[in-house]
A and B are shown apart, each in its own frame.
Chain A
Amino acid sequence: MSFSKYLRTIFIITIILIISVVSSCKKFVDIPSPPNKLLASDVFSNDASATGLVTGIYTRMMISTGFASGSYESVTQLSGLSADEFINLFTNSDNIQFANNSLTATNGALNTLWSEIYTYIYTTNVILEGLQQKNGVSSPVSQQLNGEAKFIRAFCYFYLTNLFGDVPLHVTSDYQVNAIATRTPSTQVYQQIVSDLKDAQNLLGNDYSYSKGERIRPNKWVATALLSRVYLYTQQWDSAEAEATTVINNSSLYSLNSLDSVFLKNSNEAIWQLLPVSPGLNTNEGNLFILTSAPTLVSLSTFIMSEFEPGDNRLINWVGTYSDGINTWYFPYKYKVQASSTLTEYSMVIRLAELYLIAAESEANGAGNGILSAINNLNIIRNRAGLNPYSGPTNQDSVLNAIYHERQVELFSEWGHRWLDLNRTGRSNAILGSEKIPWVATDTLYPIPFSEIQNNSKITQNTGY
C-alpha cells in the first residue's frame, strides 16, 4: 500500500524530529514574554514607553469610575455625599452608606477608592525605581518623569490621609515590604508629601511645553499649588500664603476666567486638568451630573442650594435645573457637556480660584498682610461671581467663616472640597451633626477597607468602625 508507505516515511521523520527536539526540552518550557506585554526592562528602555507609564496614570484616572474620574465612585461624588452637597438617588447600598455616613469597611466603592489610589502610588514607586536603575531614558525626560511621579505620589497621599487618617506609607514598590507595613501617622505622611512636592517643584518644568501646551501634565506650578494647599491643611499659614501667591503672581500663565469658561479645556484658570480619554465623552462630571431626566444617581442638596447669596452668578452659571413637572432637581452645571465626541472640556483638578481662597485663609490666619489682604483675595472671587465685596465684620472668625462659605459655593461638587474643608476646620460635627442623621464624630474619617486589614494583620481600623 503506497499510502501506507508514505505515512510510514512521515512517521519515521517525525520520530527523528522529536528525538532532536527532546535534547532541548529544558528550553521548550522557557517561554518568551508575551507580545502584548512589556517587561520592566522594556518599559524603561526608551523615553516613549517610560513616559507612557506616567501618562498611563492620568489615563487610568479618567477611564476608571473611581478616585480622580469625577464619575460615580470618585472622591468628587463620594465625599460630596459624605458631606452635604448631594442627595443620593442611587439605590446601590455602597452609595447609601456614603450618603448616610454609615460606612462599613466592606463598602465596595470605598475599597475601590483605596485600592485605586494605591495602584497609582505603586506605579509611581515603580517609575522612581526604574529611573534610578540603568535605563534608556534621556536625562531631561527622566527629570520630568521623576518630578511627575513624585507629584502624583504626593497628590495621592494627600487624599489618602485626608480621607482615612493614618495610612500605610509606601515609598518602595517591594510588595514584601509593603504587605506588612503598619499605618504611618498622618504627620509623617504629610512630611513625605511636602518632601515629594518640593522635589517636584525642582524637577518639573516651568510651562506646559512637554504636554504640547495643554494643561494636562503637572509642571512646577501644579506642584506649587498643591504644596500651598498642603501647607493650608497643615496650618502652616506663611508657607501656604507664600506658595499660593507665587502661583497667583504668575499672571502670564494663570488668570481667572469668566464663570462660563472656567471649565473649558486649557482655560487660563486651569492649573492642572485631566484629559478625557473615553471616546464620545467629555468629562465624567458632565456625564454624571447633568440632568435630562429625573436623577437616578445624585442631585444637589437643599443645603448647598440655600447657601448661594442672592445675585450669585454661580447659581445661574454653575447650577442647572431639571423638572419633570412635579419635582424639580438641581445639579452641578460647571461642566456643560454631558457627552460629545468633540472635546471642549477637561476635568479640572486644581484651579486658580482655590489659590486665591488659600491665600485669603492663610492671611486671615495671620500670614502675609493679614485680614485686609485676606478680604481682598476673597473679594476677587466674589467679584467674579457678580457679588458685592465682603461687607461683614473684619474680625478673624467672621472673615474665616466668609472664606469657608466662599469655598463652599465656589468649589462645590469639585473634588470633595466641602468634605475635606469641614473636617480640617473641625466644623463637621457642628454642621453635619445637625444636617445628617445619624452622625457620629468618628464619621469624619472613612474606615480602612476590610480587604486591607484582612490581608495585612498589622493594619488597625479607625475608631468607630
Chain B
Amino acid sequence: MHLTAYGKALPGAGLFRSKNLLVMKLTAILVVAACLEAGAKGYSQPITLSMKDAPLQKVLSAIEKQSGVNFIYGKDLISHAAPVSIDVSAVTLIAALDMVFKNQPIEYKISDNYIVLSPKPPQLSRAQSTFKGSDIHGRVTDSTGAPLAGASVTVKGTRKGTSTDANGNYELKNVEENATLVISFTGYIAQEIKLNGKNTIDVALFHSTSQLDQVQVIAYGTTTARLNTGNVTTITSEEIGNQPVANPLLALEGRVPGMDIVQQTGFPNGGVSVQIRGLNSIAAGTAPLYIVDGIPYSTTSSSTSLLGYGLTSNADLLNPLNFLNPLDIESIDILKDADATGIYGSRGANGVVLITTKKGKSGKTKIDVNLSTGTSQVGHFMNLLNTKQYLAMRREAFANDSLVPTINSAPDLFSWDTTKYTNWQKQFIGGTAHNANAQISISGGNKNTQFLISGNYLKVGTVFPGDFSDKRGSANISFNNISDNQKFKSVISVNYLNENNNQPLYDPTPATTISPNVPNLIDSNGNLLWPAHVRDNPYADIRNSYILTSNNLISHGSLSYQILPTLEILTDLGFSRTALAEITTFPIEANNPIYGVTTGSSNFANNSVQTWNIEPQLNWIKHIGFSKIGILIGTTFLQTLESGSVINATGYTNDDLLKDINSAGQLTSGGTSYSLYRYNSFFGRANYNFNDKYLINLTGRRDGSSRFGPGNQFANFGAIGAAWIFSNETFLKENLSFLSFGKIRGSYGTTGNDQIPDYGYQQLFGSTGYSFQNSTTFYPINLANPTFGWEKDKKLEIGVNLGFMNDRILFAADWYQNRSGNQLVNYALPPSVGLSFIQGNLPALVQNTGVEISLNTINVGNSIFKWTSSFNISIPRNKLISYPNIKSSPYEYTYAVGKSLYIQQRFHSLGVDPTTGIYKYQDIDGSGTGLDYPGDLQPLKQIAKNFYGGLQNSLSIYGFQLDFLFQFVKQTGNNALFTTSNTQPGGESNQLTEVLSRWQKPGDNTNVQKFTTGGGAGFPAYLAFAYGRSLGDNEIGDASFIRLKNIALSYRLPQKIIQKAKLQQARIFIQAQNLFTLTSFKGLDPESNGVFALPPLKTINAGFQLTF
C-alpha cells in the first residue's frame, strides 16, 4: 500500500502556539488528496492498540492494518505531530481515531474507505471559515494621534469583532475583502471604513459633539450618557469657569436636576447646603459623598470648625469644598440612582459627587493665563420704615398698650434725635466687595508623559465696614505616565490650597434693623461711640473678628498594570489633609466702656482632618463579538482621623496682640477633639453590553464601618441597572427615523448611611477642661448603645432618554423612589436621663419620590451662529411613610406620618382678629386653657421646595459667546415679617414697611397685628407675635423666586490677531452672578430665607484669558 501526498506542505506542530495560529493562512489549510488505492476491511472492524510514545505514522499504520482503511495526509502534517500513547482493546474505528487525534493539531474526515487528515482550523475562524478572507490590522488613535485603548473594531453585519490594545492596535482575522469595518469608542464619533482589499486600516476618531457622547465619570470608570445605565449629570469645566464663584458647589445651582443647593450666606467660605433627591434621613447626615479624583473627601465639616461660630453662626457649616479651586476642576459628575451609586454602597444613600481635577494633555507645552477682577454687593435691600414712620409706630404701640413712654422705655422717642435717619442696611452690609482672581497653568507632554501645573490666587473682600478679606492661594499639579510597552500607567495629582480668611465674628446683617434714629455709633475716624441708651454697638460686634487659616492638601496616585490584554490590576492611593487654624478675637475696644472691661480675649483652635485610602482593584474587560463584558472587583481601606484642640486666651491688655497666644494673661484649654473613623469594604461590579443595545450592570458591596459597635459593623449592599437602547434596533431605525436616540433605563438597589458621630456605641467620659485643686476633672459625655446598625436606603428609578433630529433635541425624564428605613438618629431622650441624646435606629420609613426632566436643544447650529438651550426641572416629594408608635416617640411634635419630613407642626394661624387686633390661633385640643403647647400644634404647612430647576441658554456668533442661566425655585419659606426684625412691630427695632398695614381699630381686616411694645396691656399681643415667630404657621410664607443666576459674555479674539501676538488663544469675558431676582419675598433673600443672614451677593467680574 502506498501513500501519496501532494500539495503545499502544511504547517505542523506549531499550530497550538497562538502566534503561528494567527499567522497561518487559511488558504493554505486544506489540501484534498486523492486516494489511489483502496482496501477495505470496513469500519466495524474492532481495533486494538497498545503503544507508548509511538510516532503518529506508526500508529496510523497499525490502524490501517487492523481496519483496512487508508489515511490521506500531507507529509509535514504527520512529521510534526506529537508522539502517541494509546492503550485500547476492541474499540470501534471512530473511538480509536478520536483518541489518537485528541491531542493532535489534526482533524480527520472519513470518506468511503479513506480517512483524510487535515490541520485543525484556528478556533476563531472555524465558524465562518471562508476561503476569500484576509487578515486586517491597524491602529486606532484620537485626532491628536494618541492611541485609543479599548476601542471597538467590528465587521459590519457580522459578529466578528475585537478591541484595540493599549497601543491602539488591533487585528482581525479572515475578513472578507469587501467588508466594512465599524470602529467606535466611547465619546468619539464612530467611523465605518470599507476595506476595498486593504489589509491595514489606521483610523483617527474624532470627539463626538453630541452631548450623549460626552464622557461621564462614574464610580471606578467612565462611560457616556448614551451607554450609561445609571443616572449621572455631568457639569464641565466650561460651565464652572463661567461663574465667578469661590465654591465649586455654587456653580452647580440650577444646573443639576435633583440637586438642591442653597447658599446659606454671602460670607466668603460660608455654608452651602446640598441635598440630592431630598431628605432621606431624619437625623443622620444628608450630605452626599464627595470624591475628588477617586479619593473620598471628608465633608463632616461640623468637625472641621472647632470654634463653630463666626462664619458658621447662621449657616450651619463651613463647607469644605471651599478648599478646592473651581478653576482646577475638569468636571463634576453627580450620581443619583442606585445603579450609579450602588458601588459606593454604604455611603451612597445621599448621592455621590465625583470631582475630577484637570490633567495635562499631550502636545505642545501650553501656558494658560486667566485674570479677572470684579465687585460684589448685596443685590437687594429691604424696605424698612423711615424715622417718621418708625417713631409713629412706636408712639402707637405705647398708646395701644396704655403705657406712657419714658426715657428708659423709649430712648428712641426721648433720648435720641427724632429727626435723624440712618440707613443701617447701607452702613452694615452696603459696602462693595472687590475681588481679584489670577490663574496660570502650564500643561503639555508627550505620548508617554503629560503634566499640568497650575497656580491660583483669589482675593475676595466683604461688604461690611472694616478691613476684611478672604485670600486664597492654590496649586494643582498632575503627572500622568505610561510605560513604553503601554502596560504600566501611573497618575499622580496634588492639589493644595491655602486660605487666609478674616471676617467679622458675627454676621452684622441682623443689626440692620436697629432703630433708624439710633445716634452715630462711630466717629469720623472710625472710633466706636457709645451714646446713651445704646446697649450694643453693632460696630463693636464687627470688631470681634474671626480669622481662619486653612491648608488643604489632596493628593492622589493611581497605579495600574495591564497583566493581560483583558485584565488590569490597579490601585488608587489617596491622602488628604485639611488643617484649620482659627482665631476669634474679642478686643477691649469692642466692650462698652461702662462695663469697665480692661482686657481682651481670644480663642485659638487648631484642627486637622486627615484621610488616607487604598483601593486595589482588578478590572477585566472582554469583547466577544457584539458583547462586551466588564468585571471589576476591589477593596477599600479608608481611615479618617480628626483631631484638634482649642485654647482660650484671656487677659490681653493690648488689642494689637490678640492674635499672639504668647501675649495672653492666662491660657486655659477649651477642649480637645479626636475621632477616628475606619471603613473597609469589598466591592464588585459586572456589566454586560450587547451591541450597544442591551446593557446590564450589577454591583455589590460589603461594607464595614467603625461607627458601629462590634457585631454591627458590616452590611451588604447591591444594585442592578439595565438599559435598552431601542433606537439601535433595526426595526425602529427604519420606521422612526426622526428618533435618533432612545433609551429606557431602570435601576434598583440598596445603599446605606453611616453619617453619624464616631464612638456612639461606647460610654465615654471626658475632661471638663478645668482642674479642681490641681486635679483633672471629668464628666460623662456619651451614653452607650451598642446595638445600632446601618441605615438602609432602597432606590428605584425608571428613566427614558430620547434624542430627535440627530440628537439636536435631547430629552430625559426620570422617576425615582428612595425609601430609607432603619433610620439612624441621635435619639432625643428626656433630659432627666442626664444626657439628651443617644445614637440609635428608628423604625421609621422615609420616602422620597420625584420626577426630573431635562431638555437640551440645539436651536440654531451652523458654523457662524450657534444657540443651544438646556432646561431642567425637578419635582421632589417627601413623605414619612411609617413610624410605628410615633405618639410615644420624641418626634411626636416634629413629624407626622403621611406627611413630609419638611412639615412644621405649628399653631394654625387664623389671621388677625378684627376685634382685638392680635393674631389668633386655632385652639384644637379643646383644653379651654387657650393655646397649648404642644396640644394645639397642627402639621399643616411645610417649608420645602415644590419644584426647582434652571434654564440655560448659550449663544455664540463669530468670537462672541453669551451664556445665561435662570434658576427658578417654587418653595415655601419663612415670612420675613417675623424673622427680619429683633422685636415685634412696635418694639424698639425697625420693621419692614409691610407693617404699615397693621390693625388699628376694631373692624380692620389685615394680616399684620397691632403695634405693641410688649409691656403692660400689650403682653398678649407680644405673646401672639412671639408664637408666630417660633410656633405659628403664619411665619411660613412663599419664598419662590426666579433668579438670573449667571450670565457670562466672552469674546474670542480673531485668529489673525492671535497669530500676530504669537498666542494660541485670547479671550475676554464679563461674568455676573445673582444679577437679579424676581420674588415676592420681603426679606433680603429668598434663597437663604430660613435665616436672617447676609444674602448671596451679586457679583460682576471682568477678565481675560490668554493661551500661549
Contacts and interface: CB of A to CB of B under 8 A. Distances in A.
Interface of A: 1, 3-4, 7-8, 10-11, 14-15, 18-19, 21-22, 25-26, 28-40, 42-43, 48-49, 51-53, 55-60, 63, 93, 100, 102, 104-106, 111, 114-115, 118-119, 121-123, 125-126, 167-168, 170, 173, 175, 178-179, 181, 211-212, 214, 216, 275, 277-280, 292-294, 296, 326-327, 341, 449-457, 459
Nearest to B569: A15
A278 B773 CA distance: 13
Given A35-B674, A457-B888, 18 more contacts: A7-B559, A15-B571, A18-B616, A26-B704, A31-B676, A33-B762, A34-B676, A37-B766, A55-B775, A58-B777, A59-B771, A102-B1019, A111-B831, A118-B834, A175-B783, A280-B666, A451-B830, A454-B892
Interface of B: 407-408, 448, 481, 483-484, 488, 490, 535, 559, 561, 569, 571, 573, 592, 594-596, 599, 614, 616, 635, 637, 650-651, 665-666, 668, 672-680, 704-706, 710, 713-714, 758-759, 762-773, 775-783, 828-836, 838, 887-888, 890, 892-893, 933-934, 1019, 1026
A308 B547 CA distance: 52
A11 B781 contact: no
Contacts of A212: 773
Contacts of B767: 36
B26 to A, nearest CB: 40
B783 A4 contact: no
B893 A454 contact: yes
Nearest to B645: A36
A26 B714 CA distance: 9
B831 A457 contact: no
The list of the 3 closest CB pairs from A to B, nearest first, reads A122-B834, A293-B594, A115-B831
Contact of B775 (A15, A52, A279): A52
Contacts of A327: 408
Contacts of B778: 38, 43, 49, 52-53, 56
Contacts of B637: 18, 21, 25, 28
Contacts of A11: 488, 559, 561, 571
Nearest to B1030: A106
Main secondary structure of the interface of A (DSSP, over half): helix
A57 B708 CA distance: 30
A341 B666 contact: yes
A456 B680 contact: no
Contact of B678 (A1, A29, A115, A452): A29
Contacts of B599: 280
A118 B833 CA distance: 7
A122 B772 contact: no
A450 B706 contact: no
A294 B594 contact: yes
Given A26-B704, A63-B770, A118-B834, A15 B651 contact: no
B152 to A, nearest CB: 28
A214 B772 CA distance: 12
A436 B870 CA distance: 67
Contacts of A280: 599, 650-651, 665-666
B539 to A, nearest CB: 18
Contact of B832 (A29, A31, A452): A452
B680 A28 contact: yes
Contacts of B561: 8, 11
A418 B138 CA distance: 99
A81 to B, nearest CB: 16
B635 to A, nearest CB: 6
Given A25-B680, A37-B765, A114 B832 contact: yes
A36 B672 contact: yes
B770 A175 contact: no
Nearest to A28: B680
Contact of B768 (A36, A48, A59, A114): A59
B773 A178 contact: no
A55 B771 CA distance: 9
Given A118-B833, A279-B666, A40 B674 contact: no
Given A15-B569, A29-B680, A280-B666, A52 B933 contact: no
A214 B770 CA distance: 18
Contact of A179 (B706, B769, B781, B833): B833
B595 A175 contact: no
A37 B759 contact: yes
Contacts of A31: 676-678, 706, 758
A291 to B, nearest CB: 10
Nearest to B666: A279
A171 to B, nearest CB: 12
Nearest to B635: A22
A455 B828 contact: yes
A114 B1019 CA distance: 26
A292 B651 contact: no
Contacts of B484: 1
A55 B779 contact: no
A22 B1026 CA distance: 59
Contacts of A39: 762-765
Contacts of B829: 175, 179, 455
A40 B786 CA distance: 14
B573 A14 contact: yes
A15 B830 CA distance: 51
B674 A36 contact: yes
